[in-house]
Chain A
Amino acid sequence: KAGVTQTPRYLIKTRGQQVTLSCSPISGHRSVSWYQQTPGQGLQFLFEYFSETQRNKGNFPGRFSGRQFSNSRSEMNVSTLELGDSALYLCASSPDPGSNQPQHFGDGTRLSIL
């Protein structure tokens, strides 16, 4: 089985721009979560999607948004980029939502803001 696929792997943007990141979950996985990883804050939960619905949202500003499609693929969008948005953005998938479902991560998208 192919793992979680995230595209692109690297992105360079400037302040004020917006960006869209893509995540394809493991085949058969219907739940997708997004995390931000930075050296200072570590791994922080952004949001969780299941059946095209956002089930949970972390403590991030409204500039961070996401969506899930009917094939379980997910995208996240960050608008009006700030320098502090530079981070590794990770997507994780699991068969279904819930804490009894192991989450498997992709290798992330490295976003750099100039």
Chain B
Amino acid sequence: QQQVKQSPQSLIVQKGGISIINCAYENTAFDYFPWYQQFPGKGPALLIAIRPDVSEKKEGRFTISFNKSAKQFSLHIMDSQPGDSATYFCAASRGNTGKLIFGQGTTLQVKP
């Protein structure tokens, strides 16, 4: 019940295309869903986050779509750029704890 399942494991997209990464969760008590971006040799950087009372949130080229009934959420990267090539992690947490449960990560390669 504590798992967050992320897919695909790896993704190759052409420059200018849309990158889509999906996550699914079991625990309906989760109430915070962030996405992190990690470059080699660096720690994860917070990209964007959403709460279950919102179905979509957009920040620049990054959009989270949230489907509460399906217990799924996804990250869309519009107009993908080679500089977006990184590993992306979805995560979830609940209540008064900062404990983040992470997905297994998606390695994105954007080809020029």
Q: Are A48 and B43 in contact (CB under 8 A)?
A: no
A101 touches which one: B36, B98, B101, B104 (CB < 8 A)? B98
Are A99 and B43 in contact, CB atoms less than 8 angstroms apart?
Answer: no
Contact indicator A99/B93 (Cβ below 8 Å): yes
On whether the beta carbons of B43 and A4 are closer than 8 Å, the reply is yes
**Which of A56, A105, A108 counts the most B-chain CB atoms under 10 A from its CB?**
A105
Cross-chain contact B41 with A98 (CB below 8 angstroms)? no
Size of interface on A: residues with Cβ below 8 Å to B:
27
Residue of B nearest to A110 (CB): B41
- B96:A99 contact, CB within 8 angstroms: yes
Chain A residues with Cβ below 8 Å from B104 are 42
Cβ-defined contact, B98 with A107, below 8 A: no
- How many residue pairs link A and B with beta carbons under 8 A? The number is 75
With CB as the reference atom, state the residue of chain B lying closest to A58. Answer: B99
Contact: A56 with B42, CB < 8 Å?
A: no
Contacts of B54 on A, CB cut-off 8 Å? none
Once the chains bind, are A99 and B46 in contact (CB under 8 Å)?
A: no
Interface contacts beyond A92-B98, A99-B93, A101-B98: sample of 17 additional A-B pairs, CB < 8 Å, sorted by A: A4-B43, A31-B98, A42-B104, A43-B44, A43-B105, A45-B100, A48-B98, A48-B99, A55-B97, A90-B43, A97-B96, A98-B98, A99-B97, A100-B32, A103-B34, A103-B46, A107-B41
Ordered by A's residue number, 26 sampled pairs between the chains whose C-beta atoms are within 8 Å are A33-B99, A35-B100, A42-B102, A42-B104, A43-B100, A43-B102, A43-B105, A45-B99, A48-B98, A55-B98, A56-B98, A56-B99, A92-B43, A92-B98, A94-B98, A98-B97, A99-B94, A99-B97, A99-B98, A102-B46, A103-B98, A104-B45, A104-B46, A105-B43, A105-B45, A107-B41
